[in-house]
Amino acid sequence: MRRPICGSLLLVGVCLLTGTGAWAQQNPDAQNQSPVSADLAITYTTEMGKLATANGGTFWLQGGGADAAVNFWEGFGIAANFTGGLASNVAPGVNLNQVEFTAGPRYTHQVWTGHSGKTDQRRLQLFGQGLFGGVHAFGGVFPGISGVTATAGSFALNTGGGMNLYLSRSLGVRLLEADYVRTWLPNNGSNSQNDMRLSFGIAYHIGKH
């Protein structure tokens, strides 16, 4: 499952960004004529999980992510996100690695455009999203009907939002993204997870502001 997830991320990202870039090159004035635009982010990501034990201790996955979004009309568009992370010794001698790919609708709203004047390209975006896909976990311990395995996969739900601060027409930073992540990996308990994910990183914009 890991290779199909990575392949899907690359395919979606290439299609979104290449298509938008080619469209802009063929239409020199497109940035001023059309609402279509794209945002790409590369982030450091940390995700808090909870152990399915009596004391219910928590642990943090550390990793990174990438997402691409295309805005089609009035801030409404679609987004695709890929995240990978790992945690060591979540239990004595037990590690956890996982990768997740999700896609779905996103709404982006521009709340600040800097000072008046053509030379100031700063702006602040807020976005909210609901993404759906799958998660693949490996290098851990997952109890199942047929016994304990080192790998597992399940459906994944990712809802939340964040903010991008662009310092120029194209380049900016993702100040914060906070998401609720729901998965259904076997854990000898409820067989579900309710995680909190935080992300920070670099953002790049193509198209109209």
What is the tens place of the pLDDT at every residue in 120-160?
Answer: 788 999 999 999 999 999 988 888 777 888 899 999 999 99
**Neighbour tally for 47: CB within 10 Å:** 23
The two three-digit tokens of residue 198, written as one number: 């935080």
Spell out the domain ranges in the chain: 2-207
pLDDT interval class at 24 (50, 70, 90): very low
Of 156, 150, 164, the residue nearest 195 (C-alpha):
156
* Per-residue pLDDT at 14 exceeds 70: no
The reported pLDDT for the residue numbered 145 is 76
Round to whole Å and give the CA distance between 118 and 166: 15
Round to whole Å and give the CA distance between 169 and 163: 16
- Please indicate whether residue 61 or residue 30 has the higher confidence score (pLDDT): 61
Round to whole Å and give the CA distance between 98 and 21: 31
- What fold is seen in the domain 2-207? Porin (2.40.160)
Using a pLDDT cut of 70, give the percent of the chain over it: 81
The reported pLDDT for the residue numbered 54 is 65
